[in-house]
Structures are given as C-alpha cells and as structure tokens.
Chains A and B, each alone.
Chain A
C-alpha cells in the first residue's frame, strides 16, 4: 500500500504544457468551495497537492486518448433541463432496503431510512467530517491514492479534494437488507460530487445498490475495503438522461478469501467514464467487475468509457472483467482494461472480455486490453470483439415467426447475457433484464 502511494507522487513529474493545464485546473478549482474537512483534512490536502502535480487530463494522456476530457475539465457544466417525466421509474424501489436518498447530491433525510441497521453502521460524510476522528480516516482518499499508480486519475483526486457528501458504511455482520443509494435530480445546473467509503469487516456481507438520476454533471466515487472473507455485491444502475456528463470510480482493496462483485448498467449519457480499480492484497480472493452499456446516438452524442485496472498482489486470486456494449446511431464505446500480476502472485486466474455489438455502421468501439505479468505460474486471458448482429440468428428467429424488431431485442439481450450473469441475485438480475428489454423495445420502434 504505502510504497504504491509513494510511487504515485514520483510518477507525476510536471509535463510540457504544464502551465496550461495548471491554468485549467485553477479555473476548475476556482468555482468550488473546497472544504477543509475534519477527519478528512489531511487526505484532502494531500489530494490537492497530488492533483496540482498531475493536472487535469488532456488527449495526450495515455488513458484519455479515446475519451476527450474537455467537458469534465470545464469549470461549470452546461445545464440540463429537468424532464417532466422520465420514461422509466428507478430500479429496485419495490425492494425492502435501507434507502439513502440524495437530491442533487445532497442527502435527503426525510426520504431516507434510519441510518442504523442490524450488522452495519452508517454515517454521513457531511456530518462525520465535522469531527477530527472517524474509522474512515484510514480509507478516505487512501484507496484512491493507492490507485493513482501507475495510472493517473485526476478526477478521482479531485473527488477526494472536493466531496462533501456521501456515506460511510461499516459492515460488521450480514445485514438482511441491501443498502440502496437513490439519486434524484431537482435542478438543471447541479454539478454533483459524492464520495462513499465502505468498510466490510471480516466475514461481513453487503449488497449495495445505486440507482436514479444524477446532476448535469457528476463525479461519484466509492472506496471499498474488504477484510478477510467479506463479500460486497455492488450494483449500479444510474440513469443518465440524454445529456449527462458522468465520471465515476470504484476503488476496491480485497483481502484474503474476500469476494468483490461490481456490476453497472449504463443507458445513455453524453460522456460517461467509469474507472474500476481493484487490488488483491490477500490470497484466494475473488473480484468480478462487469458492465452492460446501451448507447443510442440518435438524440445527441453518446460516449461511454470503462477503464479498469486489476492488480493481483496475492496468490490464487480470481479476477474477471466482463464488459458488453450495444451501440447505435454513432454511439461510441471505449474499454481500457488491464490485469497486472505482481511478482509472487502465483496461481492467479485473470480473465477479461470486452465486446461491442454495433447495430449500424456509424457506431464505434475502441478497446485496449492489457496484460502485464510478473509471475510465472498464472492463467490470464483477454479477448475483445466488435461485431454486428448475427444475421443467421436473426433469420432463425424470424423464420419461427418472431417479428424482426422483437428478434433484434432478443438477440441484444442474448449478447448482454454474460454481463448480466454477473449479477448473482436472480430477482435483481431479472429486474435489470426487464429494464433493458423495455428500453430496447422502445428504441426498436424509433
């Protein structure tokens, strides 16, 4: 951990054009009221120093070649009118859960459950940060810092600097209900930042759901620390509307025999970037990260980028990355995924697949799979495919009387099935499947 943090500082020498990016960063920070922080004060100050050293990203940065960060760099996002009615209601609302509602990124106590539950304790960052001590001191900005090497992640550092809202969840047992974080939009201008810290103690288990509509622009982050034998099942199904700018990151530190599973569903959005950074620090652990992405460029640009980095720093760990993107009408998908196997991480089982289904010739998928392996007894594989609908399968369905539009919906769902299979809970999975089906059916008629 600590040696990585040191490297992160070393790895950020001032580059050519540094003054220009410094100006851009100054302008970006200028519009923010930066909190001093209580227990987070040191982490925030450190993150600010790191952010100043690395600057905002530009197209020359290796991990921003396929995604233009301009809209994330801009001091203020363009407002997005609130739609009178969203076509779908948020997912999982009928579920018995510990519900935490955020309106334009600010916690809304009146609509939320009590912040207590069996086997877990929940604090609000905004309240906890008024005091100088908290269990989350060891984690806030700490996992983010570790994840800055070898790849710079300026927006994650910015998040640590600027976030005032979020929840700090410490799980000691196996709560019977999931924690459901539900976002809602109320203003057209909101530029929303949240930072959740989740600590699962030894053997603890949690299902964490994130849904709803976030602001005109958002920067959301989760730092998740899994102690030995803990299990975290994270499902994000945030709705983006049609003009949304969203950056999100999840940093996970996974100890021995722990299981981390994260699935995200993304539908629409102008510019979305999701970074998953996972590190195994104990043996025999498992981490799966998966996404199903649907993009339609018909109502404006669509660009979705998943950038994943999995570090195997322990023996016999299994990692699995499954990313599926369905793109049409000029939509663009990006996947950058890396598996790093450190020296001594023997018997690593690393798997990565990224696939795009292009429903027309205007859409585009850019993939950069990477493996870097320093142990000699490992199994690692990666694959990436880009293709059109299987004409033979389409004809097969139609020859049975299934109308063309319906057949396409079935084949798209079939394409996404491997990613959806990463959602363990059958009930949650079928809700997601139904949502996808409704979206696809609606779009098929356009």
Chain B
C-alpha cells in the first residue's frame, strides 16, 4: 500500500539533509512501527509523506496504492486515503470541532466524487464514534482542540481518523504526553480501525504503545535511514538495551 523508495529529503531553507535514502513498504492490513532516537528523522518522514511545506525531496519516491504522493497537495493526499495523527494537534479557536470534522469529511468525499454526508447522518455517525473514544458532546461543540488536555487532543485525532476512514494512517508519537489510561483508549480506538485494507505506520519512542497496538513489523530508524527491521521482538530489544548496540552495529 505505502511504498517509500530511497527517499532523500532536505530542509528547504537550510542545507541540511534529514532523510538519506529511506526505503520502506507497508502492505495492506499491516501495522508497522518506526522507532528511533531523537533527531533520526521520524517526524520529518511523517510530514514529507503528508505534504507539509518546508521540505525538499532531492531523490527517491513515495507512493500510496501506486499513486505518486509527492506530486499531490496535502488535501489530495488526504482524499487519496492518507492520514497523519499529529504529535502536537493544532488548536484552532473560533472553528467548532463539529464544523471542522464535517468540512473535512465532505471535502474528501467531494474530491473523490462521492455524495456529501447530510448533517443528520453525520451527527449520528460522529456521536457513535465519539462515544467509543469517550469524547462527550461538549468536546464536540468546542473549538478544535482549544482547551483540550493532552489526552483529549490525541483522542480527537483518533476521532478524526475514525470519521475520515483513511487507508493509510501515520501516527506521529501519538503516545507522547499520554497517561496509561489515555494510551489504552487511543490504542483501543486504533485497534478498532484495524482491517485488511487499512495500514498503519506507528512512530514512537517507546515500546509501551506497541504493547497495546501490536505491530507486524518494527523498523529502527537512525540518521535518516532504516537501519534494521524485524518482528515485535525488536521493540523489546530496544526497550531493554537502548539504541546504542543497534547504532554501533549499523556503524
């Protein structure tokens, strides 16, 4: 589903190379985790895939279901089925959470040539999905992420994911700033969305999130590259020994 081939990325304004030949493939229905030390380029990877400004791809390719992602605007990537759960979800005062969600859902439908969701249908669906994530009506009415706690913001990300039904979900350190209960809620939300035609790329520093969201493959990233891939046991190894040995090994 997601295919990244020899991706080289530098910052647009600086002569700083961040991704240095990253290759990765996530087949449909699989959950892949990316772990790596600070500064290894994990967040950059998520931004480049979702189309944020400020980065320049100097070499390589990235595609979703065979469509060239790098040629598309961020909103086109979203409509193509890509979703990024932000590490720091953005507060947007003055825009209601519901309005935002409905605008997003219908904009994507419109772009795909599908019929827009009626206000009534939308309300029904959003209430149901919000309930599972313990997001109350009050939170839905409030402006996007304004005054939300760290946990509420992350749950709101998962709600967006549930409403938009993307094919490829990238989760950028969704566990950061979450207590154990909030992490379980988020993980349950993600697990509920797992399906044979939906894939996940879970970026995390720690193994604990992977206790709740079982990955099929774990990749270790360092200095802009994947230096090792393996099964869930690789995450346990990192948790036990740190990144030191792996980095030395990769040399």
For the complex, give the distance between the alpha carbons of A401 and B82 in Å. 9
For the complex, give the distance between the alpha carbons of A169 and B74 in Å. 55
User: Which of A113-121, A340-348, A408-416 is the contact stretch?
Assistant: A408-416
At the interface, yes or no: A445 with Cβ under 8 Å from chain B? no
For the complex, give the distance between the alpha carbons of A243 and B52 in Å. 39
Complex interface: chain A residues within 8 A of B50 (CB): 399
Whether the Cβ atoms of A399 and B103 lie closer than 8 Å is no
Whether the Cβ atoms of A393 and B90 lie closer than 8 Å is yes
**Please, which residue of chain A has its CB at the minimum distance from the CB of B163?**
A400
A161 to chain B, nearest CB (A): 42
Whether the Cβ atoms of B107 and A396 lie closer than 8 Å is no
Whether the Cβ atoms of B92 and A410 lie closer than 8 Å is yes
Complex interface: chain B residues within 8 A of A411 (CB): 92, 95
Whether the Cβ atoms of A417 and B93 lie closer than 8 Å is yes
**Please, which residue of chain B has its CB at the minimum distance from the CB of A414?**
B94
Complex interface: chain A residues within 8 A of B73 (CB): 398, 404
Whether the Cβ atoms of B164 and A399 lie closer than 8 Å is no
Whether the Cβ atoms of B75 and A403 lie closer than 8 Å is yes
Known: A391-B53, A396-B89, A410-B95. A402 touches B84 (CB 8 A): no
At the interface, yes or no: B78 with Cβ under 8 Å from chain A? yes
At the interface, yes or no: A135 with Cβ under 8 Å from chain B? no
For the complex, give the distance between the alpha carbons of A417 and B142 in Å. 13
At the interface, yes or no: A395 with Cβ under 8 Å from chain B? yes
How many residues on chain B are close to A (CB under 8 Å)?
29
A437 to chain B, nearest CB (A): 11
For the complex, give the distance between the alpha carbons of A188 and B100 in Å. 43
At the interface, yes or no: A406 with Cβ under 8 Å from chain B? yes
Known: A391-B53, A398-B73, A400-B164. A406 touches B107 (CB 8 A): yes
For the complex, give the distance between the alpha carbons of A391 and B92 in Å. 12
Whether the Cβ atoms of A398 and B92 lie closer than 8 Å is no
Complex interface: chain B residues within 8 A of A400 (CB): 78, 100, 104, 160, 164
Whether the Cβ atoms of A414 and B93 lie closer than 8 Å is yes
Q: Which of B70-108 contact A (CB under 8 A)?
A: 73-75, 77-79, 83-84, 86, 89-90, 92-95, 100, 103-105, 107-108
Q: What 1/0 mask marks residues of chain B from 50 to 73 whose CB sits below 8 Å from any chain A CB?
A: 111100000000000000000001
**Please, which residue of chain A has its CB at the minimum distance from the CB of B145?**
A396
Complex interface: chain A residues within 8 A of B52 (CB): 395, 399
At the interface, yes or no: B208 with Cβ under 8 Å from chain A? no
**Please, which residue of chain A has its CB at the minimum distance from the CB of B160?**
A400
- Looking at B73, B74, B103, B105, the one whose CB has the most chain A CB atoms below 10 A away is B74
For the complex, give the distance between the alpha carbons of A420 and B79 in Å. 32
A323 to chain B, nearest CB (A): 16
Known: A395-B52, A395-B74, A414-B95. A401 touches B104 (CB 8 A): yes
Whether the Cβ atoms of A401 and B75 lie closer than 8 Å is yes
- Looking at B94, B107, B108, B164, the one whose CB has the most chain A CB atoms below 10 A away is B94
At the interface, yes or no: A392 with Cβ under 8 Å from chain B? yes
6 residue pairs bridging A and B, Cβ less than 8 Å apart: A397-B92, A397-B100, A398-B51, A398-B75, A401-B105, A403-B107
